[in-house]
Amino acid sequence: MRIEKLTKRTTIFTIFEACEGFDLHIQLIEGKHRNYVIDTGLGSKSLEPILTYLKDSEKELIVINTHHHYDHIWGNLCFKNHTIIGHRKILEAIDNDWQRATTLFIEWKQGEIEKVYPNLVFDDCVSFVDDGIEIFYAPGHAGCDIAIYDAVDQTLNVGDNIGDTPENLVPDLTCDVDTYKASLARYETYKVRHVISGHNCIMDASVFQKIRQALSNE
Ligand SMILES: [Zn+2]
Distance CA 215, CA 218 (A): 5
DSSP state of 106: G
Domain locations in the chain as residue ranges? 2-217
Give distance in angstroms: CA of 205 to centre of ligand 1.
20
Dihedral angle, C-alpha 149, 73, 41, 34, nearest 10 ° = 40
What's residue 19's pLDDT? 85
Measuring CA to CA, which residue among 192, 208, 203 is closest to residue 151?
192
Give distance in angstroms: CA of 72 to centre of ligand 1.
6
Measuring CA to CA, which residue among 210, 17, 175 is closest to residue 87?
175
Give distance in angstroms: CA of 151 to centre of ligand 1.
24
In CATH terms, 2-217 corresponds, of 3.60.15.10, 3.90.1150.10, 3.30.390.50, 3.90.550.10, to 3.60.15.10
pLDDT in tens, the chain (218 residues): 999 999 999 999 999 998 888 999 999 999 999 999 999 999 999 999 999 999 999 999 999 999 999 999 999 999 999 999 999 999 999 999 999 999 999 999 999 999 999 999 999 999 999 999 999 999 999 999 999 999 999 999 999 999 999 999 999 999 999 999 999 999 999 999 999 999 999 999 999 999 999 999 87
Give distance in angstroms: CA of 146 to centre of ligand 1.
13
Give distance in angstroms: CA of 19 to centre of ligand 1.
8
What's residue 124's pLDDT? 98
Distance CA 13, CA 47 (A): 9
**What SS3 state is found at 199?**
coil
Helix, strand, coil proportions of the chain in percent (round to 5)? 30, 30, 40
Give distance in angstroms: CA of 130 to centre of ligand 1.
29
Give distance in angstroms: CA of 16 to centre of ligand 1.
13
What's residue 20's pLDDT? 86
Give distance in angstroms: CA of 218 to centre of ligand 1.
23
Give distance in angstroms: CA of 71 to centre of ligand 1.
5
Give distance in angstroms: CA of 174 to centre of ligand 1.
14
